[in-house]
Amino acid sequence: MNSLLHDEAQETQPGTVHVTSYALLLIFVLLAAGIITLSYLYYQSFKANYRREYEKQLSAIAELKVGELTQWRTERWGDAAILLNNAAFSSLVRRYFENPEAPEASEQLREWLGKYQTAFQYDQIVLLDARGILRMTIPANLTNLTSVISRRLPEVLQSDQVTFQDFYRDETDHGVYLAILIPILQGLGSNRLLGALVFRINPETYLYPFIKRWPTPSLTAETLLVRRDGNEAVFLNELRFATNTALNLRMPLDRVTLPGAQAALGREGIMEGVDYRGVPVVAALRTIPDSPWSLVARVNTTEVYAAVQERRWLVIGIMTVLLFSAGACVGLIWRQQRVRFYRERAKLSTELAQSAKELQEKNAELERFLYTASHDLKSPVVTVRTFLGYLGKDIASGDTGRIEKDIQFIRSATDTMARLLDDLLDISRVGRVIVLPVRVTLQGLVDDALGAVAGRLASQGVALTVNDPEVIVFGDRVRLAELFQNLIDNAVKFMEDQKEPRIEIGVERRGAETVFFVRDNGGGIDPRYHEKVFGLFEKLDPRAEGSGMGLALVKRIVELYDGRIWVESKGLGQGACFYFTLPAAIESINKGA
Amino acid sequence: MKGEPIVILLVEDDEAHAEIARRNFAASHLANRLIHVADGQAALDYLYRRNEFSNPEASPRPGIVLLDLRLPKVDGLEVLKLIKGDPALGSIPVVILTTSKAEADMVKAYDNHANSYLVKPVDFAQFTELMETFGYYWLAWNQYPH
């Protein structure tokens, strides 16, 4: 048991706990670093992936728009091309020009052009003759052309090609329009011009809504058209976050962060910049083939990163939870270590206090031993010296009666001394001389003991019984026999005037304890002296024989086997029973079995 | 001094030492009476007139107690404590006569109001002289109230 405690105590020495604390702190730091690094790497990769995906999406939308705008322009060119070299149309126009009052040609022409207007959603259609005079308008009653168109007319009237008038502002209604200018040829190999057609397009009908349309729900995304005008980028449509911008909003081309400017310069691809409002944006830039237009598909950076931001909080959240968990785990382990440490320390200090107490007790016992030994050894010396003095005097005076008495006292004192010395030697040997332990039955021990006291038992007619002869003990056979011998001797010595003296030896089980006993029906012991009887040189009856060391020796032997001894007696004349335990002699057997 | 013998109660477990005391007192021719008991319990029984000492005629109150310290049954210090703790007995002078020179014993004895502490000398002449001096001092010179 004792050695077991000891091993456990050695397992964690106080010093190692600090080491463990530092090790745990290091583990936590490493864990935390790992968690933070992993979180950061995950977040960065998520951000890069997301950004890439978003750019792809932005590019795809821009591509789609460019495709549709190109398609739209091709269709417009197509509309124009049908009329450019159309003999039937040319002859109808000639007939109408020659006789404007003739209802047949006029109505036919109006119907034809009207179909164009309604089917292809042209805002206005104007027919001019070669001199630039308005000859027919749809809707009717238009009186003059806007100056932008008028300026371009001579050029159109001299060419045989369709001309595209890009976004312009009409000075009468201040609206933004586009126009297709188509020269009408004489037809059939003749290059002479009859006049021209002007198809005016209102971008509000289709173009602007189309440009504005964004295929996914978005709070900040938009597409816009720009074209280069000298050193400036001109915004061609109405913007999502600004009004009255078409043809009005112009920005210098040297603004490198402005997507519109970069697009107007012909750049293509993805860029991050600051838009017309001064807000950071991610933009996809495309030029529209065969046109002065460039397209910008842009979205606020904050919207792009909103999901990333959300993910960042999530990552931070998970990271915090992980850090806390790691901290809690490490903390728990640390706490357990501390608890164990303090428990160990408490145990150690208890053990220390215990051994200090034991040491103190041993010291006190040794002091008592020295004291009693010196006192009791000195007594007979005093006797011898004193009676030697008397002897001298009595010899001188010839008092023979006294001489004999003196010698008697001297002899008795030297006998006492000799016995004291023998017993002292004996008791000091208990536990000091190591004898190989053997297994022996209770009966065997009693038999050994009887070798020394049998004669006395017989002479006093004492009956001795052993109740549990088969009980086995494991130890120094001679010492254990001496233990029983002294107890039997003691019992016999104090039988007093018992008519049927009996001694009973046996074993009682008290809980887990095996308790041996030696019981007699003799004189008994006054309860006041139950402790004192085990003292060294302690004799209750000064006239009793012996040095008063028998029970002290018994006690020492019992203690040698980690046991305790006590006496139970109801008092004088009630008999006495000495109980004792020998755990070390019993446990060895259990261990061996 | 009316010549009434002073009763000395000698509490001594060693028969030889009791004999020494007896011889010394006999030699001093002082008017006294020595009563010897061999253990602490017997001393208390005598003082309180119990058991075998219950007859007050046979067990007169002692004028002085000569007490050994190491005694069977009840220890000498315990006897001293009981005598000095009892108002009826406390006035009886108690002289410790022992082989022990241990400081602790002396301190305990005086703490418990021992009137004197004598150590038995190993030398015969000295022992005899001690007993003589004791006799003169406590039995001749010392005055006791009646």
For residues A338 and A17, give the distance between their C-alpha atoms in angstroms, rounded to a whole number. Answer: 7
Taking CB atoms and an 8 Å limit, are A386 and B70 in contact across chains?
no
Taking CB atoms and an 8 Å limit, are A386 and B99 in contact across chains?
no
Q: pTM for the whole thing? A: 0.48
Q: Give the Å distances, CA to CA, from A586 to A187, A430, A474, A559, B141.
A: 137, 19, 7, 13, 66
Taking CB atoms and an 8 Å limit, are A529 and B99 in contact across chains?
no
Q: What is the mean pLDDT of residues A113-138?
A: 86
Average pLDDT, chain A: 85
Interface membership of A387 toward B (CB under 8 Å): yes
B24: nearest CA partner in chain A: A390
What is residue A544's predicted lDDT score, i.e. its pLDDT? Answer: 64
pLDDT above 60 (res A199): yes
What is residue B1's predicted lDDT score, i.e. its pLDDT? Answer: 42
Q: What is the mean pLDDT of residues A537-564?
A: 78
Percent helix, percent strand, percent coil in chain B, to nearest 5:
40, 15, 40
What is residue A589's predicted lDDT score, i.e. its pLDDT? Answer: 54
Q: Which among A371, A381, A389 has CB closest to B102?
A: A371
Q: Using 50, 70 and 90 to split pLDDT, how confident is the model at A547? A: low
What is residue A10's predicted lDDT score, i.e. its pLDDT? Answer: 45
For residues B104 and B84, give the distance between their C-alpha atoms in angstroms, rounded to a whole number. Answer: 19
Contacts of A543 in chain B (CB under 8 A): 38
pLDDT above 80 (res A386): yes
For residues A257 and A265, give the distance between their C-alpha atoms in angstroms, rounded to a whole number. Answer: 12
Q: What pLDDT, in 10s, does the model give residues A48-69?
A: 998 899 899 999 999 999 999 9
For residues A345 and B67, give the distance between their C-alpha atoms in angstroms, rounded to a whole number. Answer: 51
Q: Using 50, 70 and 90 to split pLDDT, how confident is the model at A41? A: very high
Q: How far apart are the CA of A378 and the nearest CA of chain B, in angstroms?
A: 7
Residue A401: strand, helix, or coil: helix
Contacts of B98 in chain A (CB under 8 A): 375
pLDDT above 90 (res A295): yes
What is residue B96's predicted lDDT score, i.e. its pLDDT? Answer: 94
Contact residues, B window 75-114, toward A, CB-based 8 Å cutoff: 98-100, 102
Contact by Cβ (8 Å): A434, A398: no
Q: Using 50, 70 and 90 to split pLDDT, how confident is the model at A592? A: very low
Q: Using 50, 70 and 90 to split pLDDT, how confident is the model at A296? A: very high
Q: Which of B75, B99, B119, B123 to mutate against chain A (most A CBs within 10 Å)? A: B99
What is residue A407's predicted lDDT score, i.e. its pLDDT? Answer: 92
Q: What is the mean pLDDT of residues A174-182?
A: 90
Q: Give the Å distances, CA to CA, from A149 to A48, A246, A270, A428.
A: 50, 19, 37, 138
Q: What pLDDT, in 10s, does the model give residues A210-255?
A: 888 888 888 888 999 999 988 999 999 888 888 888 888 888 988 8
Tokens of residue A179, six digits: 């126009």
Q: Using 50, 70 and 90 to split pLDDT, how confident is the model at A11? A: very low
Give the dihedral of Cα atoms A309, A313, A314, A316; nearest 10 deg: 130
Q: What pLDDT, in 10s, does the model give residues A101-124?
A: 888 888 888 888 888 888 878 888
Q: Using 50, 70 and 90 to split pLDDT, how confident is the model at A8? A: very low
What is residue A1's predicted lDDT score, i.e. its pLDDT? Answer: 39
Taking CB atoms and an 8 Å limit, are A383 and B121 in contact across chains?
no
Q: Using 50, 70 and 90 to split pLDDT, how confident is the model at A363? A: confident
What is residue B44's predicted lDDT score, i.e. its pLDDT? Answer: 92
One-letter amino acid for residue A387 of the chain: F
For A348, residues 6+ apart whose C-beta sits below 8 A from its C-beta are A9
What is residue A7's predicted lDDT score, i.e. its pLDDT? Answer: 43
Q: What pLDDT, in 10s, does the model give residues A432-461?
A: 677 788 888 999 899 888 887 888 888 888
Q: What is the mean pLDDT of residues A169-190?
A: 83
Q: What pLDDT, in 10s, does the model give residues A315-362?
A: 999 999 999 999 999 889 888 888 988 899 999 999 999 899 988 988
pLDDT above 70 (res B115): yes
Q: How far apart are the CA of A403 and the nearest CA of chain B, in angstroms?
A: 14
Contacts of B100 in chain A (CB under 8 A): 371, 374-375
Looking up tokens 């004189």 gives A523
pLDDT above 50 (res A593): no
Q: How far apart are the CA of A350 and the nearest CA of chain B, in angstroms?
A: 31
For residues A403 and A391, give the distance between their C-alpha atoms in angstroms, rounded to a whole number. Answer: 6
A539: nearest CA partner in chain B: B72
Taking CB atoms and an 8 Å limit, are A389 and B38 in contact across chains?
no
Contact residues, B window 40-69, toward A, CB-based 8 Å cutoff: none
Interface membership of B124 toward A (CB under 8 Å): yes
Size of interface A-B (CB pairs under 8 A): 75
Q: What is the mean pLDDT of residues A117-141?
A: 85
What is residue B3's predicted lDDT score, i.e. its pLDDT? Answer: 57
Interface membership of B127 toward A (CB under 8 Å): yes
Q: Using 50, 70 and 90 to split pLDDT, how confident is the model at A12? A: very low
What is residue A135's predicted lDDT score, i.e. its pLDDT? Answer: 86
Check residue A136 and give left, alpha or beta (phi > 0: left; psi -120 to 50: alpha): beta
Q: What is the mean pLDDT of residues B3-14?
A: 85
User: Residues of chain B with pLDDT > 90: what percent?
Assistant: 40
Taking CB atoms and an 8 Å limit, are B125 and A388 in contact across chains?
no
Contacts of B121 in chain A (CB under 8 A): 382
Between A20 and A414, where is the model more confident?
Answer: A414
Q: How far apart are the CA of B64 and the nearest CA of chain A, in angstroms?
A: 23
**Could you report the predicted ipTM of this complex, rounded to two decimals?**
0.85
